[in-house]
């Protein structure tokens, strides 16, 4: 799938797919699986490394020598971009929303080790920083660089197709076990991962519900984002037949807001860790994990139905939460 697109191969693929036997037993699911995109490589991995294979392929095809991207202070996307830039011999410039921290920790600390140049914007929300990309690109060109701008979360068609291809990977792995997932549960932020999986399921004609657990935006807003990304990706790649996507978003696990801790988030982190040794992150995957636990306990997932928890990474952010210690 999408074999002809420019791509650099640095992610550890395929990522493992395995059973969550103990967690499944404790919440009454006999057929619970996890896909480990927290193991994609690039400085602790995560879903953005998979996207970056195509993004950097496109950047190299455009002769770029510098990757420029944006995100929140503890952005996993920015940290993985910094790691990939380092390994590809490219410069990396990160625009981060928020105050420069007095003591660097988590992803910010890793960005520094990875040699990325960080610029902090205390008054901007992460998505607003997308608007600053043009301005900084012009400045970098004046300095003689050839920059490539990656929007927040790599949420544009080049960053969506890698997750359509990931669906092919998931199918191939499940085929070996003579089964296929009926539900996939994952954390949704900018929506690109979910959009890609939905496109992949469509291209492979799979009957699977892909449930995005939004970590900050309302279900309505997230659905609109995913829908728009799917439409843009269909327009960009004619090999995707037009279709009317079914987009499932659950916004009941946002809790106190983006990146904010609450009892539910902490209990999900503990439950996954103590049953199966899986570490979730507080911003994204713990909310998706909490959703899985609640859905199973409420009987919304039937006991024998193959269910996939899609781990998208993010663990380095855990080490910026000193209040958890």
Ligand X SMILES: Cc1ncc(COP(=O)(O)O)c(C=O)c1O
Residue nearest to ligand X (CB): 314
Burial 9-37 (b: 16+ CB within 10 A, else e): ebbebebebeebeebbebbebebbbbbbb
Q: Is 157 in the site for ligand X (CB under 6 A)?
A: no
Cβ atoms within 10 Å, residue 273? 13
Minimum CB separation of residue 303 from ligand X in Å reads 27
Q: Is 187 in the site for ligand X (CB under 6 A)?
A: yes
Q: Is 313 in the site for ligand X (CB under 6 A)?
A: yes
Q: Is 77 in the site for ligand X (CB under 6 A)?
A: yes
Q: Is 251 in the site for ligand X (CB under 6 A)?
A: no
Q: Is 40 in the site for ligand X (CB under 6 A)?
A: no
281 to 310, contacts with ligand X by CB under 6 A? 281, 284-285
Cβ atoms within 10 Å, residue 236? 13
Using CA atoms in the order 183, 186, 189, 193, what is the torsion angle rounded to 10 degrees? Answer: -70
Give the residue among 43, 50, 51 at the shortest CA–CA distance from 15.
50
Q: Is 66 in the site for ligand X (CB under 6 A)?
A: no
Query: Would you say 155 or 308 has its CB closer to ligand X?
Result: 155
Give the residue among 45, 96, 56 at the shortest CA–CA distance from 75.
96
Q: Compute the distance between CA of residue 213 and CA of residue 24 in angstroms, rounded to an integer.
A: 19
From the list 31, 40, 47, 216, which residue makes contact with ligand X (rule: CB under 6 A)? 47
Query: Would you say 76 or 307 has its CB closer to ligand X?
Result: 76
Q: Is 191 in the site for ligand X (CB under 6 A)?
A: yes
Query: Would you say 45 or 147 has its CB closer to ligand X?
Result: 45
From the list 312, 316, 320, 321, which residue makes contact with ligand X (rule: CB under 6 A)? 312
Minimum CB separation of residue 101 from ligand X in Å reads 18
Q: Tell me which H or E stretch contains 71.
A: strand 66-72
Structure tokens at 74: 């503890």
From the list 31, 40, 76, 248, which residue makes contact with ligand X (rule: CB under 6 A)? 76
The helix-helix angle for 157-175 and 47-61 (nearest 10°) equals 130
Minimum CB separation of residue 135 from ligand X in Å reads 23
From the list 189, 200, 259, 264, which residue makes contact with ligand X (rule: CB under 6 A)? 189
Residue pair 71/153 in contact (Cβ under 8 Å)? The answer is yes
> Which residues participate in catalysis according to the annotation?
75
Q: Compute the distance between CA of residue 141 and CA of residue 47 in angstroms, rounded to an integer.
A: 30
Query: Would you say 140 or 166 has its CB closer to ligand X?
Result: 166
Query: Would you say 72 or 306 has its CB closer to ligand X?
Result: 72
From the list 151, 157, 192, 316, which residue makes contact with ligand X (rule: CB under 6 A)? 192
Q: Compute the distance between CA of residue 294 and CA of residue 267 in angstroms, rounded to an integer.
A: 11
Minimum CB separation of residue 196 from ligand X in Å reads 8
93 to 152, contacts with ligand X by CB under 6 A? none
Please give the DSSP secondary-structure letter assigned to residue 60. Answer: H
Structure tokens at 36: 């480990």
Q: Are strands 209-214 and 248-250 parallel, antiparallel or unpaired?
A: parallel
Phi-psi region of 144 (alpha: psi -120 to 50; beta: other; left: phi over 0): left
Query: Would you say 190 or 233 has its CB closer to ligand X?
Result: 190
Structure tokens at 253: 């696990």
Binding residues vs ligand X (CB under 6 A):
46-47, 76-77, 153, 155, 187-194, 281, 284-285, 312-314
């Amino acid at each position: 799938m999408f074999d002809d697109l420019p791509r650099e191969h640095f992610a550890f693929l395929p990522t493992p797919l395995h059973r969550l036997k103990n967690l499944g037993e404790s919440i009454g699911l006999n057929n619970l699986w996890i896909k480990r995109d927290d193991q994609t490589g690039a400085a602790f991995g995560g879903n953005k490394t998979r996207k970056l294979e195509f993004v950097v392929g496109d950047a190299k095809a455009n002769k770029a020598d510098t990757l420029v991207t944006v995100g929140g202070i503890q952005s996993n996307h920015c940290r993985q971009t910094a790691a990939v830039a380092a390994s590809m011999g490219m410069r990396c410039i990160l625009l981060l929303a928020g105050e420069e921290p007095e003591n660097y920790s988590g992803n910010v600390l890793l960005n520094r080790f990875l040699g990325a140049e960080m610029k902090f914007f205390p008054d901007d929300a992460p998505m607003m920083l997308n608007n600053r990309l043009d301005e900084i690109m012009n400045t970098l060109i004046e300095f003689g660089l050839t920059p490539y701008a990656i929007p927040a979360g790599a949420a544009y068609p080049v960053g969506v197709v890698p997750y359509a291809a990931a669906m092919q990977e998931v199918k191939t792995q499940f085929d070996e076990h003579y089964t296929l997932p009926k539900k996939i549960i994952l954390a949704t932020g900018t929506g690109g991962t979910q959009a890609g999986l939905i496109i992949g399921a469509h291209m492979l004609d799979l009957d699977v519900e892909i449930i995005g657990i939004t970590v900050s935006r309302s279900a309505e807003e997230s659905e609109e984002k995913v829908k728009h990304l799917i439409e843009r990706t269909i327009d960009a790649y004619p090999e995707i037949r037009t279709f009317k996507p079914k987009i499932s978003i659950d916004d009941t696990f946002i809790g106190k807001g983006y990146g904010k801790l609450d009892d539910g988030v902490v209990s999900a982190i503990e439950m996954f860790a103590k049953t199966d040794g899986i570490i979730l992150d507080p911003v994204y995957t713990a909310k998706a994990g909490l959703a899985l636990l609640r859905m199973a306990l409420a009987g919304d997932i039937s006991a024998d139905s193959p269910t996939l928890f899609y781990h998208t990474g993010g663990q380095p952010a855990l080490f910026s939460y000193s209040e958890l210690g």
